[in-house]
Amino acid sequence: MTSHTPAVARTLSIGGEYPVPRLGFGAMRLPTGSGAERDGAIAVARRAVELGVGLIDTAHLYGWGANEELLAEALHPYPDDLLITTKVGVVRSDGPEGWAYDARPDSLREQVEHGLRRLRTERIGLLQLHRIDPKVPVAEQVGTLRELQQEGKIGHIGLSEVSASELAEARRTAEIASVQNRYNLLDREYEPVLEACEAAGIAFLPWRPVAAATPGRAGELDAVASELGATTSQLLLAWLLARSPVVVPIPGTASLAHLEENVAAADLRLSPAQRRSLDGLA
């Protein structure tokens, strides 16, 4: 009996509106200063789009809007097939951490208005709640985003760093198009959330999709990567793409070479034996 490599879907429709290739880009690492550093960041963002990336992730938290402004400078006017998703719900604070949760209705509205202005758009295609604010009822937070959606300022609503029960609670108030949680081959704490997303057809955007392995595991990963003629980072991204058809990894980098390496991972195909070997590493 011949063992065939299973086909991996190459695109996913976000909210039934945005068909995106299943390898996105996380913009958090792009420097937002001035001069050559900024020029390099703009070049990376533009190259991501040239390479076919259809989803770019940013947030108000990343430089307190500076990352959003950088993407607008690099990419506006946006191509029709590009989805830029941003996040709200975290604000500056005078506390020791420098930030705080704030998903009160008035604050969320203000954050969305600022995001619209910085991104130079009248509608944010996918707006994600960066963190659920423990001081505000979930229905109130998600309900505010649903109102903004009805007003045409948000296309679709997403969540970030939520449990399966929080996802279920949020879905009682509004349709959820995406979940962005920490997840990779070696860190599967949110496996139940991924399974809930897959069952509901909700996009799952793993952040930190590539994680360093312990020496023993690194050797095993290197062996499989060598079989494929790939880097370990590419192998970890390929595993995510094979893990579930709703997964859209968002690896981030400020390097053109690393960006091109990441995007090339979409063309890797793991054999059933390789999948089994990797699955057992968690």
For residue 214, give both structure tokens: 């312990």
Concerning whether 183 is annotated as a catalytic residue, the answer is: no
Residue count of the chain, please give it: 282
Q: Is 57 helix (H, G, I), strand (E, B) or coil?
A: strand
**Cα–Cα distance, 134 to 141 (Å, whole number):** 10
**Cα–Cα distance, 151 to 108 (Å, whole number):** 14
Q: Is 35 helix (H, G, I), strand (E, B) or coil?
A: coil
The catalytic position among 18, 62, 101, 183 is 62
Q: Which residues pair with 85 in a beta bridge?
A: 57, 126
For residue 262, give both structure tokens: 């990441």
**Cα–Cα distance, 246 to 224 (Å, whole number):** 24
Contact 176, 155 (CB under 8 A): no
Contact 270, 238 (CB under 8 A): yes
Q: Is 144 helix (H, G, I), strand (E, B) or coil?
A: helix
Instruction: Mark 153-172 as b/e (b = at least 16 C-beta within 10 Å).
Output: bbbbbbbbbbebebbebbbe
Question: What residues act catalytically?
Answer: 62
